[in-house]
Amino acid sequence: MLNIIKEVKGWLEDFKAILRLIVELWTIAKGHPLLFALVFLGFVTYFGMRWYVFEYPKGSIAEYYTALSRKDFDKAWSCLAPDYQRRWHNEDQFKAGYHTLSSTPNLEIEFRYSTKNPLSWLIASSRQYVVQYDAYERFTREDLEDPQQRENKLWLEIANPNGFQHLVDGTLKNGNDSLTMHRFFKESILVKRGDARWVIAKIDRIQRGLK
């Protein structure tokens, strides 16, 4: 009970401090309106630029993985820079490569450098982020015939040593026609400014494994 009272008192003190700050700012604003307006404008500009340069690109990355999880491949495709899209030749091949992905929970996006200088975008038009997520995937016998799934086929065999050959032979029991796999991924993602927004310019795998 005493701890709760102390915690409430701490909140009240913080609230009083905020109120005092508001009163002081209001007094300054009335006495020096032009100075206050300039300071306020500078504050909004600085933090607005920080959001656009460092936080806004995270939204494009999150949108990409969310679209993949929902199998909205048109939206996911639009999150990629045109020159990076050529890695798959066309959208159909991109869709074929990712349609086995069921979901990407526990998505974490981190910018590992200083975010204090938003003017850095004037020099560098790209940003590097580290992304970590889980991946739940489901594979059918037909999926394994796609050359793009060659590496995933090896992972699936490791994850399902007893059922893999049955999947290949079409002899899975209980009417199943697919096997699932749960992996984790850590990737380095380069984003750059596109015509209308930030887009993904490159994805490099740093680490992956079974869970």
Q: Is residue 183 part of a domain?
A: yes
8 Å CB contact between 72 and 51 = no
Percent of the chain with pLDDT over 70: 89
What is the Cα–Cα distance from 155 to 169, expressed in whole angstroms?
A: 18
What is the Cα–Cα distance from 150 to 208, expressed in whole angstroms?
A: 16
Closest CA to 129 of 46, 64, 209, 175: 64
Q: Work out the angle at residue 97's Cα, subtended by the Cα atoms of residues 167 and 194, and round it to the nearest 5 degrees.
A: 160
pLDDT at 121: 65
Domain that holds residue 48: 32-210
Q: Is residue 200 part of a domain?
A: yes
pLDDT at 17: 72
pLDDT at 175: 73
CATH code of the domain covering residue 125: 3.10.450.50
Count up the domains in the chain and report the number: 1
- pTM of the predicted model as reported, rounded to 2 decimal places: 0.76
Q: Is residue 24 part of a domain?
A: no
| Model confidence at 18: pLDDT above 90 | no
pLDDT at 157: 96
pLDDT at 30: 72
pLDDT at 2: 55
Closest CA to 164 of 182, 181, 148: 181
Residue 72, CA distances (Å) to 45, 67, 109 in order: 35, 5, 21
Q: Is residue 206 part of a domain?
A: yes
| 157-202 residue pLDDT tens | 999 999 999 999 989 987 789 999 999 999 999 999 888 889 999 9
The first and second tokens of residue 211, run together, are 């869970």
| 77-99 residue pLDDT tens | 999 999 999 999 899 999 999 99
